[in-house]
Each structure stands twice: as C-alpha cells, then as structure tokens.
Amino acid sequence: MARRLKIGITCYPSLGGSGVVATELGKLLAEKGHEIHFITHSVPFRLGQFHKNIFYHEVEVNDYYVFRYPPYDLSLASKMAQVAKMHKLDLLHVHYAVPHAVCAYLAKQMVGDQLRTVTTLHGTDITVLAQDESIKDMIRLGINQSDAVTAVSNDLIRETRDLLDIDKAIDLTYNFVDKRVYYPRDCASLRNDFVGKGEKILMHISNFRPVKRMNDVVDIFAKVLQKVPSRLLLVGEGPDLPKIQHKVRSMGIEDKVHFLGKQDDVAHVISIADLMLLPSEKESFGLVALEAMACGVPTIGSIAGGIPELVTNGETGYLSPIGDTDDMANNAIKLLQNERLYQQFREACLYRARNQFCNELITAEYERIYYRVLGIEANIPVPVCE
C-alpha cells in the first residue's frame, strides 16, 4: 500500500445521502489502513462499530450571550484546524459545499498550505443553494480554494459549471454501495407483515422535501393500484410529511399506504420492495435508487439530474419526464404484470450495481485523488468488482 494517509472528514452526520456516502467512505478507507478523523457536530449515524483507525471529534459551538446566532461555521473551522495540527492530518475531505468548503479553506489558512482540502459536491449544495445570490460567491470561493473538487454525477459537474461559472477541474466520483451490506435479503416474513398473497410493494425513501415530488409518488401509486393489487411503503420524514398524509387520506387509500418513518436498516427494508419510486424534480445522483438496484429492485423515476447516469432506462428501471405520472404508472404496471420482464430487470440491476458502483471501485477513485493533491506517486490499481 502507498503511504497511509491521515484524513479528516466533515459531513452532515445525521441526515441525507451525503452523510451516508461520507461515513461509508470513511469506514472503507479505515479498513484499507488509513487513519480517519470525523469532525462533525454529532456522531455520524451510520458509523457503527468501533474501529481502531476511526476517530471522532465533536464540534462544540460557542454560544456566548452576545451571539444572536452561535457561529457553527467558525467553530467547525477552528476544530478542523485543531484536529489537523494535533493529528498531523494530510487532508480534509468535506462533503456538501455549504458551509464545509469554506470552513476547510479557513482551517487551511490557520494550519498552512501543507494541509490539502478536497470538496465533494452532492447536489442541493449546488442545484438549490448556488441559485441563491446571497451565498453564491461564498460557494464559488469554497470550490475554487479546494485542492480538488469532486461531484457525484456528470450532470452535477455540468450544473456547477453553468451556475457558478467555474473552470476548475471537477472529478467524477459516483455514489457507491457496500456490497457486503446491500444485496437481496431474505425478508419473506417482513414482507408478509405488509402484503397479502399476490400483492406488490412500491416503495419511496427520502427526506420528504419538495424536490422529491411526494405528490407524484402517491399519484403513481394510486394509478398502479387501479390495475395491480399493491401497497405503498413510505420511508423517511421531512417537511412534506403532513401534506402527504392528508393527501393519502383524502384519496381514501390510507389502508394501502404505510408510513414507516426513518429506518436505519435500509438494506432489509428495500429488499421487501418490488419497485422503488424516485420521481424527483432534482436529483444529482439518487443514492436510494442505487441501494435498491443493489438489492435487485428496479426504479421507476424521472429524467432528472444524474438519475439517467445511474438507472439504465428499459434495463434497470424506467425513466419518464418530470411530472409524467401517467407514464411512470404505466411503466410500473408493465413491470409488475410481466414476471419474465421483471426478472430480467432484477438481474440487470444486480449486475450493474455490482460492476459499476461497487465500494472498491469508488474508494480507489477517491484515494487516487488524495494522493494526487498531496503530490504522492501511488499506483492504485483499478479493482475488479465481483
């Protein structure tokens, strides 16, 4: 192995795909022998068991009485600098540009140029926040001052360039799944808790934000229900939850829709589904569709952001224009009513997830970027995914 690196990782530890990717990446790097220091406001929710190469540093915010708004960003930057000095970190890898890229830049000012910074753009940090003129220049500064920038799809790279007028090279690093965790689980009894004989399960997992188009999720399901006996399982919580609960009641389908709230054991939950619904307005990648793919569950989704780079239309799922719930419902019905076609899609899902988005492949890509910004020659072979 090339030199063992000391890496600080900052992310939103308790929600969203960016936190999941950052935490899983840290765990995989630690398994490969690198020393990983999570610098976050709480313990990342997917951190799991103790590992000798993983350290956790809590960011404590100073809420001195003159502060109307306790300055989290400054506390984070200070903590990054302290940890970097104390543990002689090689680099800080921050996930989600706002405010983390700027905090890393500040930390570097305090520590010195030898500390390298890598920023991974995940989606709404660009597609939503970079549209806000009041913070746009700050996001651009954070990106331009990073030693390397990565984004989770080609579409996000394009959108970053368009919105922020950035020339800087941006590396593509797709989301990944750990194949030791995401594979089709045997969940017959869990499935039977929700469906009767012959019924199908449609599932949606998200943070119930407007970009997820939860109304479309329910509309697609209601249309499918007219043709195929089925249930809708909604996993997650967020601002649109009350609105959706009301919609489900007003449509009179509340006995067919199950609200499961937040769930940690996503691989088991997904394994009971027949289809994943992802009709988002914006979606830089769609980690949940990849998790579903790895469990052999095709996605019915929208042609939005990076989803088409993940879901191969007509092979591992079907994609329709944003808002076209008729087309999405028809595609779902086609798959659910044709067992042979469904099995083909399932096989294609398993193959694609394992071969294109496996943990070894993407972890090696991140390592290559780390060694490059540090100016260390390292031959990281392209792993063979099996």
Give contact residues for ligand GMT (rule: CB under 6 A): 16-19, 21, 96, 122-124, 152, 175, 207, 209, 211, 282-287
Residue 369 Cβ vs ligand GMT, minimum distance, rounded to whole Å: 16
Task: Tell me whether residue 34 or residue 100 sits nearer to ligand GMT (CB atom).
Answer: 100
**178 or 199: whose CB is closer to ligand GMT?**
178
* Smallest separation (angstroms) from ligand GMT to the CB of 65: 33
> In whole angstroms, how close is the CB of 126 to ligand GMT at the nearest point?
9
**Nearest-approach distance from CB 88 to ligand GMT, in angstroms:** 29
Residue 333 carries which side chain, given as an amino acid letter?
I
Q: Please calculate the CA angle 139-140-145 and round it to the nearest 5 degrees.
A: 100
Helices (H), 68-205: 72-87, 100-111, 124-127, 133-145, 154-164, 188-192
Q: Which residues of 273-294 are buried (b: 16+ CB within 10 A; e: fewer)?
A: bbbbbbbbbbbbbbbbbbbbbb
Pick 286 or 298: Cβ nearer ligand GMT: 286
User: Min. distance of Cβ 273 from ligand GMT in angstroms?
Assistant: 18
Closest CA relative to residue 108, chosen from 84, 88, 72, 138 = 84
Q: How far apart are CA 54 and CA 56, in angstroms?
A: 7
Q: Could you give the dihedral angle defined by the CA atoms of residues 269, 331, 154 and 152, in that order, rounded to the nearest 10 degrees?
A: -10
Longest dimension (CA), the chain: 67
Considering only CA atoms, which of 63, 118, 123, 115 is closest in space to residue 90? 115
Residue 319 CB, nearest distance to ligand GMT (Å)? 14
First CA to last CA distance, the chain = 21
Instruction: Give residues with Cβ within 8 angstroms of 184, minimum separation 6.
Output: 271, 295, 296, 350
Minimum CB distance to ligand GMT smaller for 296 or for 306: 306
Name the residue nearer to ligand GMT (CB basis): 311 or 333: 311
In this complex, which beta carbon is closest to ligand GMT, that of residue 13 or of residue 296? 13
Rounded least distance, CB 188 to ligand GMT, Å? 29
CA 4/CA 367 separation, integer angstroms: 10
Nearer to ligand GMT, 90 or 291 (CB): 291
